Amino acid sequence: MNEDTDLARLFNTLDSGALIELTLILLGTIVLITGSQKLLPWIASRMHGRAHYYVLALIPALRLLILIGGVLLIVPILIEPSLQNMVAVLGAVGLAIGFALKDYVSSLIAGVVSTVELDYRPGDWIEVGGVYGEVRRVGMRTVQIVTPDDTLVSIPHLKLWSEPVHNANNGGPSLQCVANFYLHPGHDAGQVCQALRDVTLTSPYLQLDQPVTVVAQERPWGTHYRIRAYPIHPSQQFRFVTDLTVRGKAALERIGAMPAAVPATFSASG
């Protein structure tokens, strides 16, 4: 009987006025979050370049702010905000999290960390756990990315604690692409480098104000050439690499450079 009274003292009496206030705050929070999640991507889709990415990056941060604001408004309505009450409530919540919702809450906290540290934002091209794609949505618990095969993958923020996150453009429009060429050793390397450089400089997708590099590496089976360059927009990366590859092969054929004949088994980085 006594315990019931103590527990009851934790919470405020919810009269009809408090209930209406709670409902309004909840509705307001939901409307603001939903509205910002629809409005900001719409605004971003009408912008190009850096501004596009800045607006997209605002989405999770704004949602977090709205949520914190909602919680700060709701808690004093539900609980008498004394030290004793707060310790009791937080203790109970902590126990529940520790036993039942550890991973879920860990993902939520990692989501907050990712929002603050900006490990990934909508519009970034990231690789987590071997999955590569464009970030479409940074949710409370997961980050949703769309792979080049148009598959939506939801990755829990929890992965942030244990796995490296590869971010190819880091909130900007510059994303380096690499096109590989594997050639038979009998060729003029200087001529090949110049030809590959011209192939890159004449690509309609090339961002001309970023550096263009041709890297050559001698291998037991021949020579491995890599073009490193930046497309105008990250979404053009696959078309850009395809364009470099198709026109690069034609240019190499024109100067008589033959592809390596031996089936090569090596890592992508080598």
Q: CB 15: neighbour CB atoms within 10 A?
A: 9
- Minimal distance in Å, beta carbon 187 to another protein? 16
Region near another protein per CB under 8 A, out of 68-76, 151-159, 162-170, 241-249: 241-249
- Minimal distance in Å, beta carbon 227 to another protein? 12
Region near another protein per CB under 8 A, out of 54-62, 79-87, 96-104, 245-253: 245-253
- Residue number, 33 or 251, with CB nearest to another protein: 251
# residues contacting another protein (CB under 8 A): 24
- Minimal distance in Å, beta carbon 192 to another protein? 12
Q: How far is residue 250's CA from residue 252's CA, in Å, rounded to a whole number?
A: 5
Closest among 163, 170, 176 to 124, alpha carbons compared: 170
What are the angstrom distances between the C-alpha of 98 and each of 110, 112, 258? 16, 19, 62
- Residue ranges in 34-53 that form contacts with another protein under rule CB under 8 A: 48-49
Q: How far is residue 72's CA from residue 199's CA, in Å, rounded to a whole number?
A: 58
Residue 103's Cβ-count burial label (10 Å; 0-12, 13-18, 19+) is exposed
Q: Select from 30, 202, 258, 261 the one that contacts another protein (CB under 8 A).
A: 202
- Minimal distance in Å, beta carbon 250 to another protein? 7
Q: Side-chain half-sphere of 57: how many Cα atoms within 13 Å? A: 17
Q: Select from 122, 173, 222, 234 the one that contacts another protein (CB under 8 A).
A: 173
- Residue ranges in 217-236 that form contacts with another protein under rule CB under 8 A: 232-233
- Minimal distance in Å, beta carbon 42 to another protein? 13
Is residue 208 a contact point for another protein (CB under 8 A)? yes
Q: How far is residue 249's CA from residue 188's CA, in Å, rounded to a whole number?
A: 15
Residue 216's Cβ-count burial label (10 Å; 0-12, 13-18, 19+) is middle
- With beta carbons less than 8 A apart as the criterion, state whether 103 and 158 touch: yes
Q: Which residues bind another protein (CB under 8 A)?
A: 48-49, 173, 195, 198-199, 201-202, 204-205, 207-209, 232-233, 239, 242-243, 246-248, 250-251, 254
